[in-house]
Structure 1
Amino acid sequence: MRKSRLTAGVVAGLVVASTAACSSGGGGGSSEGLTFMFRGGEDEKAAYQEAIDRFTEETGVEVEVIVTDADQYATKLQAAIAGNNVPDVFYIEQANLQSYVTSGILMDITDQVAEQGVDLDNLWEYGVDSYRYDGTLQGTPDGRLYGLPKDVGPFAMGYNKTMLEEAGIPLPDPDQPLTWDEWLEILKALTKDTDGDGEVDQWGTGLNVQWNLQSFVWSNGGDWTNEDRTQVTVDTPEFAEALQFFTDLTTEHKVTPNPEQAQTLDTYQRFMAGEIGFFPVGPWDMSVYNELDFEYDLMPWPVGKTGETAAWIGSLGIGVSTTTDMPEEAVKLVTYLSADPTAQETLVNANIQVPNLIDVAEEWAQAPDAEPANRQEFLDIIQDYGRPMPAAMTYGAAWYDELWTNIQPVVDGQKPAAEYLAEVQPRMQQLLDESNAQAEQAAAANAGANG
């Protein structure tokens, strides 16, 4: 998955600019219409333009669309904030919410959403709560609302159904997860030289440690922090065991492409080429994967010693700038894109997301022509066992990113997982402490400015 993120340091550097914007009243819109800034690929751009055109037809409110590729979004939004030209409505990432709130960039839309009669009970609780903030913790049901979910993004384990059937391997149970050992045996059976040239050209899996380690850690009883997000907990036996199993898939069991093979063609491309058996799938992949030359489906992530599957779930939000000249219309656009049934139908039909509306999602998952067939797995993650990414609810991600900075020797089998985690935990803890201190300082500064 390709993501971009404004770090806490970047956002903190924009506090002065955003405060000036608030005092000047200079929003990105005008008396003639709104500006809406988002990111996405061609499928998403087309779907959103269609939905926004319908919004304009229904409300008479013109919307200027500012769309970027994913890797340009953070930079362009940063420039807009620093230049006192914040869009009226824009995408917000979970990890930036606290910074935007305490910096005075995001408008509190709690009352306006209630006045518009939006049925929040029919939106995924995880998605709504991701944009709640009570001044101390994000994601609490009692927090004020600073956005609505553009989507929720459950990250499921996918598999090449055609490959397994041709190998005579029973298809995974959609409800009963495989253990690590059971899964490993299947991976070994799938890893082979299919053309007899002496080189492996089909592998069991091919995972990225930064985006795929989470499920292994959580299902093994480990985690990144304690419950109140004040203590880094990566230096535990459960975490080390999960990271070691993950790296052994490549270094010991050789059921994934090695670094040289992955460099020639990355594992995302190899999965689409039919060379990899198991690979993660998000809703954003469906528009591409549904056109592949083989059939794929979804399953629960394999489980460690807890016996309980785990997966991460992301979300993008849509928020309103405090500097908008059209706050009522801006909130209407947010609620339309997030919760209007017709708008949701447009976005869902583009195969880029799970429906935000629960009743619509349940029908969508059970559709007889569903692709993939087990769409229910996405809903199970959202409802039952999905967790936010470790840095999604903290003030910035520097502490979390530190884990990945020097992890390559572990991935390459040159350093034991437990040794590395013991080394990196103090550095992560220091960064988390600094992050929490910055959050307190920013909240105090914002309270003083508004007092």
Structure 2
Amino acid sequence: MRRMKAAAVAATMAGALTLAACSGSSSGNASEEPDTSGGDAPNELTFMFRGGEYDKLAYEQAIASFEEETGASVTMIITDADQYATKLQAAIAGNKVPDVFYIEPGRMQGYVYANVLADLTSYVEQDVLDNIWDFGVEAYRFDKETGQARTGPLYGLPKDVGPFGFGYNTVMFEKMGIEAPDPDVPLTFDEFVDIAKQLTTDTDGDGELDQWGTGLNVQWNSQAFVWGAGGDWISEDQKTVTVDDPAFAEALQWFADLQLVEQVTPSVEPAQTLDTYQRWMAGEIGFFPVAPWDIATYNAVAEENPDTFGYDVIPYPVANAGDETATWLGSLGIAVAETSKNKDLAAQLAVYLSTDLEAQKILAENKVQIPNIKDYAFGEWIETDAPAAGWPANTEEFLQIADEYGRALPGTWTYAPEWYDEFWVGIDQVLTGQMTAADYAAQVQPNMQSKLDLAWSNAEQAKAQG
């Protein structure tokens, strides 16, 4: 029965990974199939995670510190974000689950019902948890008896929380003679468009635009603007898809009109030549997302190109003055395999990576995340360590997102996120002007609702079988 459940949950996790707080590429040969099975000797562990070179370097330091402290021997298995889910599913199906590995909040329920995850509740003191970001702890709690997320036993610990911030090119603003945005008061949509129009220009006089106000990806950036206008994808009880609400459609249409009407983003042709992420780092875009996992890369670009690129963090724009800014707060978790032969040591590693002060200092210093520990983040780190390590001037915005106003991506608290994925299937029709946002939302809502209903039904079946 257990093997059947494991196969079933692996099938439910075949969708694309929800971006949380890591990015990058594999540090090794992606075609190789590493042995992911847990360690056999009393002091051996395997740790499987995803990320790029900055993540690898940071974790090599943190793991070395853990090994020195405990005498453990940890084999690190790193893959890129695109391959991680597939490799983890294969490990689960083949009964070769790593001792310690990353999980996502939106996929955790299936793992719990399949008995893949160890209960870590008894391994962490409550006073330690009280000093970790609330979202980072709640994201890995699940009560399989009631089917309620964010409550019950702890099946993981936060590797991080990932505040998806917004930023602007400080060098461009200075060159254009435009006043820097207020780091504390969000721009309104109208103010944002006005500045974006000023930034959109032909800088070399050849008759072609080569600088734009912004260039945002709808799948990862539209949430902040929809929430900032009072819309949402799902009701508070997670039972009803709400994309057909007028506030939602108006915000999505405004987002699409940044190109269709205002023309402050690169059109299709220049975007195909060079994507907006690359154009941002090339100093051609004024406003763009800035998240903790970007900092090391952005700093390297700014150091190499100080005449064209510099950046800082600001709140996301809102529909009207006085509205509350919003953005999403992601997370990756660190879990322990229920089948680990060294479960106690594996739990010790998970707790160390998530909650140990020295480990958090290593990870933050390497600029792959903000610290998980609240009193350190709001104290020594933001006052001394972050500025010394080259974090942005307004890095405190990340802490405010983590502590005050960051939201989970839609789909995080439901049994499966396929209902949310459905929204993006035909979104190009809105972005290209073939369909209004209101018409598209009305068309896609029934399909999304059907998949959400199915997710709840599947959750009930899994609960009954569990």
TM-score (structure 2 length as normaliser): 0.89
For residue 316 of structure 2, the aligned residue among 301, 316, 320 is: 301
Could you tell me which residue of structure 2 aligns to residue 408 of structure 1? Answer: 428
Could you tell me which residue of structure 1 aligns to residue 202 of structure 2? Answer: 193
Residues 1:328 and 2:344 are matched in the alignment: yes
- Partners of 2:412 and 2:359 lie apart in 1 by 26
Q: Which runs of 5+ in 1 are unaligned?
A: 1-6, 15-25, 447-451
Which is worse superposed, 270-279 or 102-111? Answer: 102-111
Instruction: Decide whether aligned partners of structure 1 residues 216 and 13 sit closer, same or farther in structure 2, where only a CA change above 3 A counts.
Output: closer
Could you list the per-position Cα deviations for residues 380-403 of structure 1 after superposition, in whole angstroms to 9, with x for gaps in the alignment?
A: 111111000001111111100000
- Are the counterparts in 2 of residues 150 and 318 from structure 1 also a CA contact under 8 Å? yes
- Are the counterparts in 2 of residues 27 and 325 from structure 1 also a CA contact under 8 Å? no
Instruction: Give the secondary structure class of the aligned counterpart of 1:233.
Output: coil
Could you tell me which residue of structure 2 aligns to residue 356 of structure 1? Answer: 372
Could you tell me which residue of structure 1 aligns to residue 462 of structure 2? Answer: 442
Instruction: Decide whether aligned partners of structure 1 residues 353 and 252 sit closer, same or farther in structure 2, where only a CA change above 3 A counts.
Output: same
Which is worse superposed, 280-289 or 305-314? Answer: 305-314
Give the aligned residue type for 1:42. Answer: E
Could you tell me which residue of structure 1 aligns to residue 61 of structure 2? Answer: 50
- Partners of 2:244 and 2:8 lie apart in 1 by 24
- Partners of 1:381 and 1:199 lie apart in 2 by 38
Q: How does 1:235-384 map to 2 (within 5 A)?
A: 235-291=244-300, 292=302, 293=305, 294-305=309-320, 307-362=323-378, 363-367=380-384, 368-369=387-388, 370-384=390-404
Q: How does 1:176-255 map to 2 (within 5 A)?
A: 176-255=185-264
Could you tell me which residue of structure 2 aligns to residue 31 of structure 1? Answer: 41
Give the aligned residue type for 1:365. Answer: I
Could you list the per-position Cα deviations for residues 246-305 of structure 1 after superposition, in whole angstroms to 9, with x for gaps in the alignment?
A: 000011110000111111100000000000000001100000111222220000000014
Q: Identical aligned pairs, as a percentage?
A: 57
Alignment size in residue pairs? 427
Instruction: Give the secondary structure class of the aligned counterpart of 1:298.
Output: strand
- Partners of 2:8 and 2:162 lie apart in 1 by 23
**Cα drift, residue 364 of structure 1:** 2.2
- Partners of 1:342 and 1:391 lie apart in 2 by 33
Cα RMSD over matched residues? 1.9
**Cα drift, residue 151 of structure 1:** 0.3
**Cα drift, residue 28 of structure 1:** 2.2
- Partners of 2:293 and 2:332 lie apart in 1 by 12
- Partners of 1:85 and 1:28 lie apart in 2 by 7
Instruction: Give the secondary structure class of the aligned counterpart of 1:431.
Output: helix
Instruction: Give the secondary structure class of the aligned counterpart of 1:415.
Output: coil
- Partners of 2:447 and 2:119 lie apart in 1 by 35
Could you list the per-position Cα deviations for residues 306-327 of structure 1 after superposition, in whole angstroms to 9, with x for gaps in the alignment?
A: 7110000000000011101111
**Cα drift, residue 121 of structure 1:** 1.3
Instruction: Give the secondary structure class of the aligned counterpart of 1:314.
Output: strand
Could you tell me which residue of structure 2 aligns to residue 166 of structure 1? Answer: 175
For residue 63 of structure 1, the aligned residue among 65, 70, 74 is: 74
Instruction: Give the secondary structure class of the aligned counterpart of 1:290.
Output: helix
- Partners of 1:120 and 1:386 lie apart in 2 by 19
**Cα drift, residue 371 of structure 1:** 2.4
Instruction: Decide whether aligned partners of structure 1 residues 215 and 8 sit closer, same or farther in structure 2, where only a CA change above 3 A counts.
Output: farther
Residues 1:154 and 2:163 are matched in the alignment: yes
**Cα drift, residue 365 of structure 1:** 2.4
Instruction: Give the secondary structure class of the aligned counterpart of 2:251.
Output: helix
- Partners of 2:244 and 2:383 lie apart in 1 by 42
Instruction: Give the secondary structure class of the aligned counterpart of 2:130.
Output: helix
- Are the counterparts in 2 of residues 232 and 429 from structure 1 also a CA contact under 8 Å? yes
Q: Which runs of 5+ in 2 are unaligned?
A: 1-6, 15-35
- Partners of 1:144 and 1:208 lie apart in 2 by 36
**Cα drift, residue 97 of structure 1:** 0.7
Could you tell me which residue of structure 1 aligns to residue 17 of structure 2? Answer: none
Instruction: Give the secondary structure class of the aligned counterpart of 2:452.
Output: helix
- Are the counterparts in 2 of residues 131 and 138 from structure 1 also a CA contact under 8 Å? no
- Partners of 2:167 and 2:434 lie apart in 1 by 29
